[in-house]
A and B are shown apart, each in its own frame.
Chain A
Amino acid sequence: MKGIVFTEFLEMVEMKFGYEMVDKIIEESELPSNGIYTSIGTYHHSEIVQLLGNLSTNSKTDAQVLLKAFGEYLFDTFLKAYPQFFSAVDNPFDFLISIDSHIHVEVLKLYPDATLPKFDTQRLEDGSLEMIYQSERKMAALAEGLIEKSIAHYNSTHIITKELINEDGSIVKFTIKQT
């Protein structure tokens, strides 16, 4: 998993819970990296699972809620770091479609070793967009946060419905309907 996910995750924890919480979840986890992350490195994704699990325990907050919040947080980071991706289109659907067809293609050029989730998108007849998340990381909540923030970014209002295609959460279908 790309280092930016870890550094941004720990930034968010420090910002919301203070560095003591960061130190706590690192110390409590058994991390091959010893909790030392840089945005351009690559680390095993089990580390984020452990860190998320320990944060959930210590903050007495649901892990999925935390993960969705992290998605919302991450959107701002992306917007700041890669504004060109967002300015290329003018509506949330085009942007969401471009994640898989354009943004991830570019990411892979830069980081050929990156393991990225797959987003199959399809415009439906009623004008809504169907977006199927597919990843062994099972972090659809993170995606949900990102989707919501994206729609908000383009000042649109949408109803997002979420449906598990696979029970374990490895395939999740989002239907985004403009209101």
Chain B
Amino acid sequence: MDEIAIIKRQLQREKLARKQAESILETKALELYKANELLRELNQNLESEIAIRTKSLMESEEKYRTVIEQAKDIIYRIDDEGYFLFINKIGIEKFGYTEEEIIGKRYIEFIPEDDLEKEFSYYTEVRDSEVLTDYHEFRIVAKNGNIFWVGQNVNRIVDSSGIIYFTAVARDITQRKATERALAKAKIELQKSEIKYKGILENMELGIIEVDTIGNILRVYDAFNKMLGYEGDELVGKNANETLLVESFEEKLSEEDEKRIKGQTGVYEVKIKKKDGSEIWVIISGAPFYDDKGNVIGSIGVHYDITDRKELETQLEISRRKAVKAQQAEKAFLANMSHEIRTPLNAIIGMSHLLMDTRLDEEQSDFIDTLSNSASMLKTLISDILDISKIDAGSLEVQNRPFNLRLLGEKLFKTFKKQEREGKVEFKYFCDPNIHSSLSSDPQLINQVLINLLGNAQKFTDSGRIELIIDLISENNKTAKIRFQVKDTGIGISQIEANQIFQEFKQANNTIRTKFGGSGLGLSISYQLVKLLGGKLSVSSAEGEGSNFIFELDMKISEELPREEKKISLLNKIGTNENTILVVEDNALNIKYITSLLKKWEIKHHIAYNGKEAYDLFLKNEYDLIFMDLQMPVMGGFEATQLIRESKNTNARVPIIALTASTFLSKKRLALKAGMTNFLSKPFTPDQLHEMIDKYLNNSQIEIISDEDFVFSDKLDRVYLKRAYGNDSEYALDMFETYLDIIDEDLLLIQDSIKTNDISALKKQLHRIKPTFTMVGIGEITKNIESVEPELDGMTTAKLEDWFEEFDKLTKSKTPLIIDEINRINTWLKN
């Protein structure tokens, strides 16, 4: 029983052990299978990985070989002794040898002989220094003998077995080397040229500085230091304007600085201070300079010392003023001469007119006529000399008034006809009857030209004819073209001479002067006068056959009747008995001439022999008209007029007519400026005097204002004044009076500023005073100031003084107007 149980247990154990073992084996087998599978997979991956790696290695090798072969750079390998192991295609090309010729050769065989020592020591150094990589530039000789530069990067390589060799990548840098050499050469050239120009600049006495945008000095050149007495970098860092500029030029310079910032150049003259404080004039040429981005970073100023030139300018200015003064003196002399000669002549002419009004027989009348005409001719001749100077000065006045040309010619004809001597020379006159009886031009000038030409013809014609021919060439309803001819049968002149006779002081030839005398001015004056009248005087002539002087003028056809035809009876009474005229004249003859006429016309008058007497009489009597000579002893006409105008007298605005022998426009202008109403040139005819009296005595009543509102004088800017003051005449009066109170003092202040050259004060004063003028209706003075204001900085003291002289005169000339206006306003307010 026990045995069976044991066997059963044994069997059971064996069975269970077997199953356990089977189960373990099954698990193990599975594990084994899986491991096997994994292994196989790994193996497979490994194979493909190897394949890929191998392929990429091959590709990479291929790639590098291609790169090396196709590289633009020379690639080669040498051993530690310098023998070539490898060289790529480009290297072979560059060297010009075959691959076989290079491989195995030593590097020194390709080095130019001159470089051998240098390159050998370089090679040895690199080899022994164990430098891993290095850059080196050297020359190589190709097979054909050409030498080229290469720049080479060399790597020192030690392989696993300890063998040293070098791999190098080299590039042909021949071009670059050439450029470098060229650049180096250019740099040297540039330096040379810089030194050269610096030398030139320093020797040119041009002081150069560089400043930044706020004017601080960056660099100073020697010549500038020398110019101002500084040394070295003493000025660097200082502000140029503060340190160097003379104060009165600050504004000028700040304008220039602004220009510079805008990138503009400029040339200007200023005064600058030397180190010792003395001042010099310099001309500065300033130009901006820029940084890389084109911004203005400062400016260069080139200074040239022009002190000497400025002094010369001042000297010249003084000389010029002297010359101007001399010229003025000459003019004054001529004017005085004219006055001195014309005054007695005036008396002769006037007297002959008076004589004509007496009872004369025919013969006496004829004599008087001749006397009168001769005096007139004398007057004309005297005028010639004056005319030339007037023409030269451009101060001849061309009038435009209606006249009868036919009568003008007739008068001339009569004058010359009387001079016919024993029938040897016959005067003839023709005037086209179709010429309009009233043409407008300057009859006085035409008369003068014709007198000259007729006189000239008379002088050179011993026998035969002298003809004055006036033809109508063409006419429309506005203008007529007239041809004047003066023909003679005299000695004539050659064509060459004809070209010269219109020049001043040129007569046909020198024998003429000795034989015929004369100034030689006549034809020249005639030529100039015709030119002024708008024509051209010419001559056609043949020697021995006489001459023909011709000119043509375009004249307007006037609708107004010529004055000559106004039949003014000298016996006509004018004005009323209440009218009184004051005649102010120092010349007894003239007094007689005028008073005779006034007596004849029954006009009450007083006589004053100088300005002082005139003023005294003015204060005591109420005159309706004053005739005032200009040049008189004790007190002249200008001063007397000013006294009258400035007086508080209710009659301060009485018309004053200047009597002047001067034909200079400037004199007339002065008269008007002094407050005179009009002028009458001596010598004057009774007609002209009558006309003047007529004008002022008969019209004087109209002057009284009849309008409801006060009307400002048309000599002032009445539009502005009306707008400014409206009907408030009291306000206007206040303003006008204030103007008078301040103006003189203001002018003095301005004058002082100019004398002390205080430009800034001057500017302030001008600016302050400017509107004052507009307020009293003399805006032209405001405009005068406005026109000078921008110029002030650049003006020299001399120029400023000149300007002031004119300005002062202009301003003062307006004073009578203002006074008149004050009086007028007062009168109006009273009424």
**Chain A residues packing against B (C-beta within 8 Å):** 7, 19-20, 22-23, 26, 34-41
Contact = CB atoms under 8 A, between A and B. Distances in A.
A38 B17 contact: yes
A38 B13 contact: no
Given A37-B17, A38-B24, A40-B21, 15 more contacts: A7-B17, A19-B6, A20-B6, A22-B10, A23-B6, A23-B9, A34-B16, A35-B13, A36-B16, A38-B18, A39-B21, A40-B24, A40-B28, A41-B21, A41-B24
Interface residues of B, number: 13
B25 interface: yes
Contacts of A39: 21
Contacts of B6: 19-20, 23
B10 A38 contact: no
Contacts of B9: 23
A35 B7 CA distance: 14
A101 B6 CA distance: 43
A7 B21 CA distance: 12
Contacts of A34: 13, 16
15 contacts: A20-B6, A23-B6, A23-B10, A26-B13, A34-B13, A36-B16, A36-B20, A37-B17, A38-B17, A38-B20, A38-B21, A40-B21, A40-B24, A40-B28, A41-B20
A26 B10 CA distance: 11
Nearest to A20: B6
Contacts of B21: 38-41
Interface in B1-53: 6-7, 9-10, 13, 16-18, 20-21, 24-25, 28
Contacts of B13: 26, 34-36
Contacts of A41: 20-21, 24
Closest A-B pairs by Cβ, 6 of them? A38-B21, A36-B16, A38-B17, A23-B6, A38-B20, A36-B17
A23 B4 CA distance: 12
A111 to B, nearest CB: 10
A47 to B, nearest CB: 14
Main DSSP-derived SS at the A contact region: loop
Nearest to B6: A23
Nearest to A10: B13
Nearest to B13: A36
Nearest to B20: A38
A22 B6 CA distance: 9
A73 B118 CA distance: 89
A35 to B, nearest CB: 6
A8 B170 CA distance: 81
Contact of A19 (B10, B17, B18, B25): B10
A87 B6 CA distance: 41
Contacts of B28: 40
Nearest to B9: A23
Interface in B588-604: none
A22 B14 CA distance: 13
A5 B18 CA distance: 16
A40 B29 CA distance: 13
Contacts of B24: 38, 40-41
B402 to A, nearest CB: 151
Contacts of A23: 6, 9-10
Contacts of B17: 7, 36-38
A20 B6 CA distance: 7
Interface in B715-733: none
A38 B13 CA distance: 10
A125 to B, nearest CB: 42
B627 to A, nearest CB: 157
Nearest to A14: B10
Interface string B633-673: 00000000000000000000000000000000000000000
A37 B13 CA distance: 8
A19 B10 CA distance: 8
B755 to A, nearest CB: 126
A19 to B, nearest CB: 6
Contacts of B10: 19, 22-23
A100 B6 CA distance: 41
A36 B10 CA distance: 9
A36 B24 CA distance: 14
B10 to A, nearest CB: 6
Contacts of B20: 36, 38, 41
A26 B5 CA distance: 14
A150 to B, nearest CB: 28
B325 to A, nearest CB: 138
Nearest to A7: B17
Contacts of A38: 17-18, 20-21, 24
Identify which of B17, B18, B21 gathers the most chain A CB atoms within 10 Å of its CB. Answer: B17
A21 to B, nearest CB: 10
A26 B18 CA distance: 18
A22 B11 CA distance: 13
Nearest to B12: A36
Nearest to A6: B17
Nearest to A19: B10
B25 to A, nearest CB: 7
A39 B21 CA distance: 8
A67 to B, nearest CB: 23
A31 to B, nearest CB: 11
A78 B486 CA distance: 175
Nearest to B7: A19
Identify which of A20, A26, A35, A38 gathers the most chain B CB atoms within 10 Å of its CB. Answer: A38
A166 to B, nearest CB: 35
Nearest to B25: A40
A7 to B, nearest CB: 8
Interface string B230-258: 00000000000000000000000000000
A26 B28 CA distance: 28
Contacts of B18: 38
Contacts of A20: 6
A172 B589 CA distance: 181
A123 B580 CA distance: 176
Nearest to B14: A36
A7 B17 CA distance: 10
A5 to B, nearest CB: 14
A34 B21 CA distance: 15
A59 to B, nearest CB: 17
